[in-house]
Structure 1
Amino acid sequence: MSYSVTYYCPRCGALVDLQREGYLDDKSVTPYPLEGWTYAEAGESFDETDGVRFVCGEPADDLSWRHPPDTEAAGDVAAASGSESAGTESTGDAADPEPEPVGCGEAFYLSFLRFADGEELDPRGPTEPEHVELAEGRGPESPSGPSGPSGSTDTDDSGGGFY
């Protein structure tokens, strides 16, 4: 069964509704692709990929773009859908025949959860700690530096110092 799911552009906040199957679990929406993930273009089938690449405001099948609700441009307008007017909204003013563009035109990425051997994959890479070898027993016993005051002609074995 197909559902309409809303995502936002992490750069400008524009909203996009995507028709997709309910069995897919979202991982994240990011301004960059996750390393190792494969992405389908918006409007293409993404059943065999790890996510969807959107271009903010760009029209595609099964997409509907609109302004974020907290902007003046959002107003009380209907979202454009996968037609020639997708990615734009009319301001509703009869004197303004030009639709107002929606989105910033930058790419962003919807990433789905991925699993390997029953474990969720972390896009940040392996979670094993990095092993560090310490130089215990092989380094100097104390820091190197000057051996002490020099040039003293005092013979009272006071070791020098301040008066």
Structure 2
Amino acid sequence: MTTRWLTPEEQRAWRAYLAASTLLEDALDRQLQQEAGMPHLYYAVLAVLSDAPDRRMRMTDLAEHAKITRSRLTYVVTRLEKDGAIRRENCQWDKRGSIAALTDEGLALLERLAPGHVEAVRKAVFDHLTPEQVGQFEEICSAIAAAIEGEGAQENAPDDLPWRRRSCSSGQ
């Protein structure tokens, strides 16, 4: 099979994406570390739970929404549980699974952090885009995510999406 090298335009776009995504994640991590002593991923997990019905979600579903491995989610939830932001509950319909529930304290923390986080996102991303570019940005990011998730869902394709990896413990 012949390698399909990136064109000069694709190479520039790829390098721009790498720089932007790395710098963006760093900026969001720094803002949340300064404000709450937590990385961006922890905030994202709290935000996903805040949108879930009854602020509860099965751990495997939460890992999929957060786009992380189940073992990484277990680590995040354990830390947030120690801080009182999340509570783990047994899953009544599946004894092997567990539920992550956002506590009132976790919701209050999220509500306290949200204005600063939104300002950091706006400052890093949306203040630099036109309304047309915002739509293009959504379309591009959605297309990339759908393509990667679609590859993992195809029959006979490696099931290598983070939340489906088998290298984690099964009790989630």
TM-score between the two structures when normalised by the length of structure 2: 0.18
Structure number with greater CO (CA < 8 Å, separation at least 6) is 2
Considering fraction of residues, name the structure with more helix. 2
TM-score between the two structures when normalised by the length of structure 1: 0.19
